[in-house]
Each structure stands twice: as C-alpha cells, then as structure tokens.
Structure 1
Amino acid sequence: MTADETTPLRLYLMQVAALAPMNVPIPCYLVQTSEKNILIDSGLPAHFQTTPGRPEPVMGKNVVEQLALLGLQPGDIDILVCTHFDLDHCGHHEDFPNAQLVVQREHYEVARGGHPRFASHRAHWDLPAERYRLVDGDTTLLPGLELIATGGHVPGHQSVLVRLPETGPVLLTIDAVARQDAFRSDRQIGPLDLDGEQAIASTRKLLDVVQREHVALVIFGHDDQQWPKLTKAPEYYG
C-alpha cells in the first residue's frame, strides 16, 4: 500500500487502450482499501491479433505502467477480480504473481473446458489452479466490494459494486452493459452477447441493484460518450 496506510476505500479508473474511430475505452479498475490492492481486469496484452473486420485498438499505457504511476508494482496487487476472460479484460493476468484471482466458477469451468471464445489467449488466464478463488453467484468479496453475477455476455460474467465512503455505491457493469444507452429493460442484444435472454435478465438485475442500493454512479464497460466525463487515475473516487 502506498502513501497513507489508512487510505479509505478508493476507486481508480484506468484506460489502457481505445478502439478507433470512436475512441471506445478499454478500461481496468483499481480498488484500494486500508489493507488490500484489488485490480479489476487487466486489459489487452502487448501483442495480439485482431479479429478480421474489427477495428485495431490504439494502445495507451498498459495496466502495469498505470499502476506504477500510482506507486504500485505488480507484486503489490493482492486480488485480481476476473470479470471474464475476453482478451481485452485478461491480457496481463500473468503479470501479477501474488494476486489471488477471483472468478465465477461457471466462467472458469466453461473457459477451462475449451470454449473457443477464450482458447486463443488461454496463456493469459490459464494460471495455476491454486491461485484461483472460484465464487458462485453474488458474493461479498470484502467489506464494501461486492461481485454480482451477470451472465449473458458470456457464461459466468460478473459485475462489481463498490461502496465508497464519499461518492456512495458505484456500479461497474463491465460488459453486462457496455453502453449507457443499453441500460434499460427492453435493451437490444449485443453482437458479442452469447446468451441474449440472459443478457437482458442481467441488465434488469443491475437496474434493480441501482434502485435498491441507491447507486450514485454507474460506469459502463465501453462507453465512449460517458468515459470522457469520468475521473481517471491518478485522480480517484473516494
């Protein structure tokens, strides 16, 4: 833990890449408590092949470089929340040697079972099994940090609710809802959602979370309209 050892809960937003031409963000997140550094996703790897017909990402500072700007080394990350194993979310998992990796059991088993969506970049997420903590459904990971099962985009996808002392509850939808204009009960199914019916059910679940928990801020997974308005590292939400 850098700086003040009594740091209250903080949330840092880090953009590691963008998709042209609309500058669609590819983010990672850091949550700091007084005792733990929790990374949420790790972004694109340095070297990868884009899918034919999809835009080439514009790379920024990767997650390791961005953490260094906050005074953190890879070994300082205690927990890595794996929302899912799409390449733009898991490209640096192997760079965090001390992190416990937390993933939904369903997602881990589907990926380890050879699902083709995750096979080409298996080296980034298929780390020693003893490093993984498998969770089943909605889980309180730490006080103030909750995982929300939101399958549909992929099996076993998870979103994150962070309860900040000043800002209030912040919901990270990740890819359960990539853009704000899809955050409605009658949303359209996204082209990368594997189970459209479940994706809609997960969206409705998150809408209920926002209402029930009086969520102060919803941060969508890849929203080029919202992202410029948000506070990014080294500034933070507290």
Structure 2
Amino acid sequence: MRPWGAGTLVCHVLLVEAADGLVLVDTGFGTQDCRRPARFGRFRRHFFRPSFDAAEAAVTQLEALGYRRDDVRHIITTHFDADHIGGLADFPDAQVHVTATEVRAAMGSRAAPDRIRFRADQWAHGPHIVEHDIAGEPWRGFAAAKELTGIGPGFVLLSLPGHTLGHACVAVDAGHRWILHAGDAFFQCGTLDENPRVPALTAFENAVAVDRKQVQDNHSRLVELYRRGDPDMMIVCAHDPELFERARATATA
C-alpha cells in the first residue's frame, strides 16, 4: 500500500508450521480483493492505494512454497479490518480465531462507523469462526492473555483494544524466539523508539482509533517490552516495512 504522505506499507502476515497443519496470523489482501477492488471500499482505495497484486496474496505465496491452501487449518486474526482479513475466502476450510468483542463490533453493530469500517462481503463465504473471550493469566506485562491450546502449544492471543474494540496481538513461539505480531496496535517502528517519524501515519492512527487513550496506553506497554530487550522476543506490526525486513532477515537467526 502507498498511502498519501506515508511511503510504502506492507501487510505483514505470519505463516507458521504447526503439528497438524499450517497457521496464518492475519491474511492481508486476498485474491478476491485483487479481482474486485471495490471490496476494499472507495475511500480506502483512494487513501491507501493498494497494489492488489495477486502474486502477493498469502495463498499465492504459500502455494509457491509447495503447500496447498487446505493445509491452512487455522487463521488467527488481530482484528477484522479489511486489509487484515481480505484473504479469508482463499482458505474456506480454516478455522478463524478472533476475539468475541471484535465479532460483535464487525458483524453485530449497527453503528455507522462500524458499517463503514468492516466489509461484510469479506466473510460472506461463511468462515468457521471461533470466538475467544480473553480473560486468562497475564503474559509478559499484558494483563489479559489466552493460550490457544486448540491450535497447539506456542500460540497466545493478547487483548489489546484501542485500534478496534476487539483488537488483539498474537504471540507465536517460533522455537528460537517468540514473535509478537502486534497487528495495528502501532503503525510504525519509530513508535517503539518513541520517535514516530511519519506524521501522516500518526494522524491516521489517531483518526481511525476507537479509543485514542487506549492506543497511547498500548504504545507505552509495547515500548516498555521493547526496551527490556528480551533476546527471545521480536515485535512486529502489520504495516511497517522496516520491521518486516528485520524479521525476514533474521528468520532463522
């Protein structure tokens, strides 16, 4: 995506090999978005200017790695914004894990902002949704965490509302480290250094947040975790290309 004044953004998803199949964290845009860009909404297309390149879709990339789409057994979503769940229909057999609060906001709300924000045609195929109420034990400074034992060991859903009502982060044990996919809990790597360098992204982050104070609190929590410098923890977000390149460069480190 190339939003006005903000450079180039990615839609960073994780593909994880688990014991009984593949797991995706978010999906980014899907092949149906590429065929029908109107699914993303007129304002979003104008502001974000996504490429809608089917070669970048998660399903295309995993098939290039030799997998089949039905190898994906589970999808864990940080939230239901269109650029995070556009690929759900590419994996119709997967279970889709999401917070119950996010499901209510996306599918049950009659409020005009929610109807504009969430795109019902992205779940019109009837995905197998598994709702989670997060009220578990604290995890590395996060107050509410839930281990997704139904998927397997090493998957933790962390409640971090603010960007949306049911937004969550997803922690994955990659063996040599944990990867914390923070979704849209922050938009740019400078946030972790308390020096966000792209004003347009800061302005947009504030504009679309359902709770700006909660977003700021989330930033403080993530900064604290980042400053601790835990060697077994890498923090990434959904859209920052620098963090994406760092993660890719150290994938086997």
TM bucket normalised to smaller: 0.7 to 0.9
Higher helix share: 2
Q: Quote the offset at 1:36 in angstroms.
A: 2.6
Aligned position for 2:141? none
1:125 is aligned, of 123, 126, 149, to 123
TM-score w.r.t. structure 2 length?
A: 0.74
Aligned position for 1:6? none
Alignment of 1:207-226 (within 5 A): 207-210=223-226, 211=228, 215-226=232-243
2:133 is aligned, of 136, 145, 150, to 136
> What amino acid is the match of 1:134?
E
Aligned position for 1:14? none
1:77 is aligned, of 72, 80, 97, to 72
Alignment of 1:144-155 (within 5 A): 144-155=154-165
Aligned position for 2:180? 171
> What amino acid is the match of 1:230?
A
* CA shift in 2, pair 1:144/1:237, >3 Å: farther
SS of the equivalent of 1:84 reads coil
* CA shift in 2, pair 1:73/1:160, >3 Å: same
- Encode CA deviations 1:69-115: one digit per residue, 9 max, x unaligned: 12222211100112111111111212212211100000001111132
Aligned position for 2:199? none
The answer as to 2:104 corresponding to 1:103 is no
Q: Quote the offset at 1:67 in angstroms.
A: 1.1
* CA shift in 2, pair 1:209/1:230, >3 Å: closer
The answer as to 2:211 corresponding to 1:195 is yes
Alignment of 1:10-25 (within 5 A): 18-19=1-2, 22-25=7-10
Question: What is the percentage of aligned positions where both structures have the same residue?
Answer: 22
> What amino acid is the match of 1:19?
R
**What are the ranges of 5 or more consecutive residues in structure 1 without an aligned counterpart?**
1-17
1:57 is aligned, of 42, 50, 63, to 50
SS of the equivalent of 2:209 reads coil
In the aligned structure 1, how far is the partner of 2:246 from the partner of 2:236? Answer: 11
Query: How many residue pairs are counted as aligned between the two chains?
Result: 216
**What are the ranges of 5 or more consecutive residues in structure 2 without an aligned counterpart?**
135-144, 197-201
Q: Quote the offset at 1:213 in angstroms.
A: 6.3
Higher strand share: 1
SS of the equivalent of 1:27 reads coil
